[in-house]
Structure 1
Amino acid sequence: MTTYDFSNQTAIVTGGAQGIGGAITALLASQGARVAIWDMDAALAQETAERVGGGALAVQVDISDWDSVQAAIAKTVEVCGGVEILVNSAGIAGLNAPLADYPVDEFRKIVDINLNGTFLVNKAVVPVMTAKGYGRIVNIASVAGKEGNPNASAYSASKAAVIGLTKSLGKELAGQDISVNCVTPAAARTRIFDQMQQEHIDYMLSKIPRGRFLELDESAAMIAWLVSSENSFTTGATFDLSGGRATY
């Protein structure tokens, strides 16, 4: 795997205690970054921080709550001195059901975490990066945001919106040395599968031409380049990790 020098850089990874977020947390820490693990699960975040080392900081945060996000960025800046990297990995899948039967409150919850949470975290971190004139942001969307998964209207819509948000912010910050990109992974075996029906999991696998799910280390490798100083040109872009599923 290609290595990068992230020494003297602080990286916030939301949902960084496990799954794709946990994989990028471990990789960034192994290559010199100090990682602030923003996660709802305080105990798991602390466990992950101790495991990856490098002075990793565990921060309990509800990304859908603006007061919580503001407290988290204040703590991170106080302890770490700044933020050069942001990876938004926190998200939920929610229920699988036809749109006509989809619970209204569940739809709102998914959008609140996946979309509004991504907005709030970017809103909190971008001023820190613009003050320094440097930053690398990756918002994790999903191939469902490009293609739509049946019986997953809330998840698909929220991830499509993350792609749009990323493209908009990338253009806003293009005049500075701050890149904003997103990745659209196919499914990976993480705890998010616990929220899904087996029928839906089987459907997702059937749509991947590679015939397997995404490996966590594969996602971390792509994200590492996107948040490195070597990515000095690309911004407002969407990078597929779909195993051949994406059609555009």
Structure 2
Amino acid sequence: MKLHGKVAIVTGGASGFGAGIVRRFVAEGARVVIADRNGSAAQALAAELGSACLALPVDISDAAEVQALFTETVVAFRGVDILVNNAGIGHTPQPLETLPQDDFDRLFAVNVRSIYLTARHAVPLMKAAGGGAILNIASTGGVSPRPNLTWYNASKGWVITATRAMAVELAPSQIRVNALNPVAGETPLLKTFMGDDTPEVRAKFLASIPLGRFSTPADMGAAAAFLCSDDASMITGVALEVDGGRCI
């Protein structure tokens, strides 16, 4: 029960890595707000996990909806101890000069602007409470970029730099800020990154991961629970690679 009594918001929490984080947080004793654009999926997960969860539909790139997310969370749970910025999107592999501008704008709205928006509300609440933990989900792509995913890689590189900058600024307020760098995982985004989900393409991806498997939602849940718990009370500004050795 590492997170007993804590209140957490997990964006993009209805599926993939986000759902793995939600499940582990609940198992560790936290009350969790599942914030996801797919409201029905968020409701289904909340119904499965019980009264410890609250499902809220939200477009995490929209300022008004983010404000409403925090307002409703405070009403329901009286505060926010942990924020996990997990919501993210990718783009199909392609030469960098061919990605349409609308796709680029949406990519940075979800992967980048959302972290700015959630910080505007989470940080004042955490400062008033005397501390907290923020976890940003980045990617190995921000450390060791794959070709033809340039703009996705760049967005995740921003997340890593923002994590470190936030950690330095917020440390005096006892707010720890860390990141996870997962390798490609068994989530709805996997097909997006691969382009074609075929045995040949999967074999190519797996060949770059020394442990020989994709990451799973349970892997992310375990790492997230550690970094957001008091066991990691001396850890801030870290971008932890949960990648089976890909970045070695």
Counterpart in 1 of 2:159?
162
RMSD over aligned CA atoms reads 1.4
Percent identity reads 39
**CA displacement at 1:112 relative to structure 2:** 1.1
Is 1:219 matched with 2:216?
Answer: no
Counterpart in 2 of 1:233?
234
Q: Give matches, 1:86-97, under 5 Å.
A: 86-97=83-94
**CA displacement at 1:36 relative to structure 2:** 0.3
Is 1:77 matched with 2:51?
Answer: no
Counterpart in 2 of 1:123?
120
Counterpart in 2 of 1:5?
2
Contact 1:14–1:37 (CA under 8 A) maintained in structure 2? yes
3-state secondary structure, aligned to 2:225: helix
Letter in 1 for 2:79: G
Using the alignment, how far apart are the partners of 1:231 and 1:122 within structure 2? 21
3-state secondary structure, aligned to 1:108: helix
Using the alignment, how far apart are the partners of 1:204 and 1:211 within structure 2? 9
Q: Give matches, 1:86-235, under 5 Å.
A: 86-196=83-193, 197-198=195-196, 203-235=204-236
**CA displacement at 1:215 relative to structure 2:** 2.2
Letter in 2 for 1:44: A
3-state secondary structure, aligned to 2:32: strand
Contact 1:95–1:106 (CA under 8 A) maintained in structure 2? no
3-state secondary structure, aligned to 1:233: coil
Using the alignment, how far apart are the partners of 1:236 and 1:15 within structure 2? 22
Letter in 1 for 2:85: N
Using the alignment, how far apart are the partners of 2:126 and 2:149 within structure 1? 34
Using the alignment, how far apart are the partners of 2:204 and 2:42 within structure 1? 31
Contact 2:85–2:115 (CA under 8 A) maintained in structure 1? yes
Letter in 2 for 1:39: D
Contact 2:2–2:225 (CA under 8 A) maintained in structure 1? no
Which structure 2 segments of 5+ residues have no match? none
So what's the TM-score if we normalise by structure 2?
0.94
Using the alignment, how far apart are the partners of 1:204 and 1:112 within structure 2? 27
Using the alignment, how far apart are the partners of 1:203 and 1:136 within structure 2? 36
Counterpart in 1 of 2:64?
67
**CA displacement at 1:231 relative to structure 2:** 1.5
3-state secondary structure, aligned to 1:181: strand
Using the alignment, how far apart are the partners of 2:116 and 2:138 within structure 1? 13
3-state secondary structure, aligned to 1:147: coil
In structure 2, the CA distance between the partners of 1:223 and 1:71, relative to structure 1 (3 Å rule), is: same
Q: More relative contact order in 1 or in 2 (CA 8 Å, sep 6+)? A: 2
Contact 2:3–2:225 (CA under 8 A) maintained in structure 1? no
Using the alignment, how far apart are the partners of 1:242 and 1:124 within structure 2? 31
Pick from 21, 38, 42: which aligns with 1:41?
A: 38
Contact 1:29–1:54 (CA under 8 A) maintained in structure 2? no
Which structure 1 segments of 5+ residues have no match? none
Using the alignment, how far apart are the partners of 2:92 and 2:117 within structure 1? 23
Deviates more, 1:13-22 or 1:111-120: 111-120
Deviates more, 1:28-37 or 1:202-211: 202-211
Letter in 2 for 1:187: A
Using the alignment, how far apart are the partners of 2:144 and 2:105 within structure 1? 21
